[in-house]
Amino acid sequence: MTVVASFVVPVHPHPMLAPESNEGYGRLRAAFDEASARIEASGADLLIVYSTTWPSIIGHQIQADPNPVWNLVDHDFHELGTMHYDFDIDADFAHAWRDAAEGRGLTARTVNYHGFPIDVGSVVSLSLLNPGNRIPAVIVSSNVYANRTETTVLAKSCLDAAAAAGKKVAVVAAMSLSNRMFTRRIEPEEDRIHSLKDDEWNRKILQFLEDGRLEDVGQLSRTIHHQIRVQKVVAFKPMWFLSAMNDHRNDLTGEVLAYEALHGAGGAVIHLDPASNGRGDKEYDEENVEVFGGDRNVLDTDSEEQDTEDAPAAHPAPASNSGPALWDPVEGEDAVNTDTAPKPVGAYPHARRVGDMLYLSGVGPRQPGTNAIPGGPIHDGKGQALDYDIKAQTRAVVQNVERVLKEAGGSLENVVDVTSFLVDMDRDFAGYNEVWADTLGKVGPTRTTLAIRSLPTPIAVEMKVVAHLPQ
Amino acid sequence: MGGGRIVAGCLAPHPPHLVYAENPPQNEPSSEGGWEQLRWGYDRLRASLAEVDHDVVVILSPHWQTYVGTHLLGLEQFEGFSVDPVFPNLFRYTYDLTIDLDLAEGIHAEALAAGLDAHMMRNPDFRVDYGTITTAHLTDPEWSKPLVVISSNRSRHYYSVEVMQEMMAELGRATKKAIEASGKRAVVLASNSLSHRHFTTEPEVPEDMSHEHITSHAMHLWDMRIIDHMVNGRTKQLLDEMPEFTDQAIAETDGGALTWLLHALDLPEYKATLHGYGTVIGTGNAVVEWPAWRHQEGSA
């Protein structure tokens, strides 16, 4: 099991800096302490924080400074004092997550800069849930423009990286429920939920979560945002992330540890245990998407041209609309096939086992389901050359290799020999080689790299892999 | 005291890309240039402001976002290191700025008197937002003048553009009143872009200008319409259209800075000077000056 516990926690600094000034703040602080103890008891060896107070624009940002140290002062509540932080971040995992996100078609980058301003939601969460840096953590931003699809794929890429690293993960969504604060200073003793409507909706959310119906709350997220959320830049997205991290389940074991007002906003500490409560049904009706296919370029100046007849479709769709037909992988006694790898372009299996050896058919970067090409196709439907990212393509190849190996019960560690094919050795060798060094290069298989004229689909790199996989 | 006045007001947007492109010693990352149209616009603005005697610069930045009232920096000195949380690859800037505390207190008092919720920010560990720093740097790279720094109250998000405009109109008038009472000559800066839809990807070389353009034709049309109002002195029409502009162009005027500026300038009917326009990662940015001193009696 990858996710061993999930939590919702508030983002305001009051439980950290002024728990004694209001009984409610004190109860939230006690709930943080209880959640902290439960994280320790869960056996988690990695803490993932998805924070709504870290908005991003250029894709998804993942904190990768191994030891960020700074003083944070809240923009509104600066009179409460200074929050000093000194965190241990799992930078290796951050990089692996970034790679996995790119492999699923997302734009993602790690940030490792001295003095980077870690946001208040993350600082409060990590300070109170993980005192003394008991376990390493990773923080991810909440992208301003990301919709449900993109947020879901972000979570799945996190699970990819966690599974590959064998991590047991505790997930934290740093967020408010209703987020309307009083717009004038109030005394702590005057604090209450801003309106009856906000309170009713908050209690509705709490009831859902206490019943373990996380995916249902995800489905309600847009409604909740319209009903009780001030239209700040980051919408009510964390439930999409949290739900995808929990396999879109509605049968979790939920417990509300505290629910209180924070200057009018709704703050709750909630524990979602993956143990099934035996009741829930899956009711979600939105696509359980595996790969991000791009933002549809609705505002791109090229979109009109792309809509015209015979014009190539928007990136990265060309690959799904051109090239050879796709086949179901050939079945057979020794065949190894998986839905998590892209469909073949001919009559062959994904891999075939012979004794302790596993021989993979040529593996490219195409994505299962969408056929999209991370990093973009090398040419459009008319053969016009396009710019593409060889590193993204190479990472996607390695991930597809990993998927086939996983189906066979193995991992990249089992790879013994690789033959790589590049369609443009001069342009691409360096980028390909860099990704290789970060991935298969660490395993150490033998390798041969060849330049060839073309491949059957508009991709720049393919690998022929042989693995030793004792039965 | 008395006799103070606003000698110039400027729309002075804060894309950190422009500081990055300049390679000033305070900023860690280095570049090969980029966004020259806007940077030349700032060159022209600086040259123009150099001709105007002034004592203090007042900035309202959309990146000090406050939801509980309007806040002002309330200590005489702030120094530190500012890293843009969205573009940390471009902006990591060491700052050391001086606050005109008397004027800040004066604006605070006038805001309270006008019925607004206002607070002085006196925590010495507070990190000044990168919008303020970028606008301050681009208008005065020598940091030769003391500043007054005002937060952006997010009333547009809590209520509507109309409510935001009402509140920022009050704040603008309060600012003007405090400046007049201070006896000082002030330059007033609204630190915001116009249309504000970003691209969600960044080229490998951020300053690769072959990737830079407005995100959509509609955004361009809105930006040009608003600029046309500015350079033809149609301030009231601009304010009338602010709700549609702010919503449809996802404009950074949502932070209230431009509305505040125009009211501090007492709704100027004279023509503003457009020093430059350009896009930054798809957003529309204009450097505009209202040369108030030219329209004041006894000014030269």
Looking at residue A312, its pLDDT comes to: 33
Q: For residue B300, tell me if it sits in a domain.
A: no
- Indicate whether A320 pLDDT > 80: no
- Mean model confidence pLDDT for chain A: 89
CA distance A463 to chain B (A): 26
Residue A139 one-letter amino acid: I
- Indicate whether A313 pLDDT > 70: no
With bands split at pLDDT 50, 70 and 90, how would you rate the model's confidence at A384?
Answer: confident
Decide which of A330 and A61 is more confident: A61
Burial of A384 (0-12, 13-18, 19+ CB in 10 A): exposed
Break chain A into its structural domains and give their ranges. 3-273, 313-468
- Indicate whether A383 pLDDT > 80: no
Looking at residue A311, its pLDDT comes to: 33
The proportion of chain B whose per-residue pLDDT surpasses 70, expressed as a percent, equals: 98
CA distance A101 to chain B (A): 14
- Indicate whether A309 pLDDT > 50: no
Contacts of B112 in chain A (CB under 8 A): none
A69-A74-A75 Cα angle (round to 5): 130
Q: What is the C-alpha separation between A414 and A336, in angstroms, rounded? A: 15
Of B92, B155, B202, the CB nearest to A58: B202
- Indicate whether A462 pLDDT > 80: yes
CATH code (residue B274): 3.40.830.10
Helices (H) and strands (E) in chain B, counts: 9, 10
Contacts of A117 in chain B (CB under 8 A): 83, 85, 127
Q: How many domains are contained in chain B?
A: 1
Of B67, B86, B216, the CB nearest to A56: B86
Identify the residue among B26, B112, B200 best suited for mutation to test binding to A, counting A beta carbons within 10 A and taking the highest. B200
Identify the residue among A11, A54, A70, A76 best suited for mutation to test binding to B, counting B beta carbons within 10 A and taking the highest. A76
Looking at residue A332, its pLDDT comes to: 87
A59 and B201 within 8 Å at the Cβ level: the answer is yes
Tokens of A347: 């009559």
- What pTM does this model have? 0.77
With bands split at pLDDT 50, 70 and 90, how would you rate the model's confidence at A306?
Answer: very low
Whether B210 and chain A come into contact, CB under 8 Å, resolves to: no
CA distance A231 to chain B (A): 5
- Indicate whether A175 pLDDT > 80: yes
Query: What residues in chain B have per-residue pLDDT under 70?
Result: 1, 297-300
Q: For residue B219, tell me if it sits in a domain.
A: yes
Other C-beta atoms within 10 Å of A382: how many? Answer: 10
Looking at residue B209, its pLDDT comes to: 97
Looking at residue A380, its pLDDT comes to: 77
CA distance B116 to chain A (A): 9
Looking at residue A315, its pLDDT comes to: 34
Out of 3.40.50.300, 1.25.40.10, 3.40.830.10, 3.30.70.20, the CATH code matching A3-273 is 3.40.830.10
Cβ contacts of residue A2 below 8 Å, gap of 6+?
A: A159, A162, A163, A167, A168, A169
Q: For residue B123, tell me if it sits in a domain.
A: yes
Nearest CA in chain B to A298: B216
Q: For residue B119, tell me if it sits in a domain.
A: yes
Looking at residue A300, its pLDDT comes to: 45
Nearest of A213, A15, A212 to residue A129 by alpha carbon: A15
A184 and B69 within 8 Å at the Cβ level: the answer is yes
With bands split at pLDDT 50, 70 and 90, how would you rate the model's confidence at A367?
Answer: confident
The proportion of chain A whose per-residue pLDDT surpasses 90, expressed as a percent, equals: 73
Out of 3.30.1330.40, 2.102.10.10, 3.40.50.300, 3.40.1190.10, the CATH code matching A313-468 is 3.30.1330.40
